[in-house]
Amino acid sequence: EVQLVETGGGLIQPGGSLRLSCAASGFTVSSSYMSWVRQAPGKALEWVSVIYSGGRTYYADSVKGRFTISRDNSKNTLYLQMNSLRAEDTAVYYCARDLGCTSTTCRNKWFDPWGQGTLVTVSS
Amino acid sequence: QSVLTQPPSVSGAPGQRVTISCTGSSSNFGAGSDVHWYQQLPGTAPKLLIYGNNNRPSGVPDRFSGSKSGTSASLAISGLQAEDEADYYCQSYDNTLSAWVFGGGTKLTVL
């Protein structure tokens, strides 16, 4: 069974750092495209970052320069390092596998499956 | 404010058919980007419902169907059931933002 489990969320002060983990089972992270998507309380979903199987990474403008996506192939785990956290980063963070990429583009990709999410609260 | 616009809420009685719209623009749907739909039950993670405009993953009932035309897309749910009460999100890619984007979400209430 394909499954994703996030950990690492919690309460952090503004300006602080936090690292989220997403342990995968049933498939190989290193040969997959993987994303982080977040959802602020009572708000819509927001794509945050993606890492391609070849290692390329992309970020939403709202987190560029502050967040870093990475993976540990030996642990089959995806990470999101979050620095300089702001109150507006408060959200449930989900990891998800990307599907639908072709050899030339990921424009029409979708996300499946999703992890259960981990809550990050940025507050003093 | 999302670049994909959904109605905040829709409702219907059990057994009825409801549709949820997702309005985009020339920088996403109009540029040829596909639409995908997710169902989020209360307190749970989103679940893929429709991919590639009108394809259902295995396990998703055929009561759910999707379509896309021009700069708009829609999700139809027929034979409404109480368990369909959830938030529904559309998703696509936007050329202007160079990012994957979601609609603002629609809360479906089964009366």
Query: Model confidence over A72-122: pLDDT tens digits?
Result: 999 999 999 999 999 999 999 999 999 999 888 889 999 999 999 999 999
**Interchain proximity A94–B45, CB inside 8 Å:** yes
Nearest CB to B2; choose among A44, A107, A114:
A44
Query: At residue A11, what is the residue type?
Result: L
CA–CA distance, B8 with B3 (Å, rounded to integer):
14
What is the phi/psi pair of residue A78, to 5°? -100, 145
In the predicted model, residues of chain B with pLDDT beneath 50 are none
Contact residues, chain B, for A44 at CB < 8 Å: 2, 89, 102-105
Name the least confident of A13-22, A44-53, A57-66, A100-109.
A100-109
By C-alpha distance, the chain A residue nearest B49 is: A112
- Return the pLDDT at A105: 87
Instruction: Report, as an integer, the average pLDDT of A12-35.
Output: 97
Q: Are B5 and B65 in contact (CB under 8 A)?
A: no
Arithmetic mean of pLDDT, A46-55:
95
**Minimum CA–CA partner of B50 in chain A:** A110
Q: What is the pLDDT of residue A30?
A: 94
pLDDT for A88 equals 97
pLDDT of residue A104: 85
Q: Bridge partners of A79?
A: A21, A70
Percent of chain A residues topping a pLDDT of 90: 95
Cβ distance of A111 and B103 shorter than 8 Å: no
CB of A70 closer than 8 Å to CB of A22: no
Instruction: Give the whole-number percent of chain A exceeding pLDDT 70.
Output: 100
Residues 6+ apart with CB under 8 A from A80: A19, A20, A22, A36, A48, A49, A67, A68, A69, A93, A95
Question: What is the 8-class DSSP label of residue B30?
Answer: G
Chain A residues inside the 8 Å CB shell of B90: none
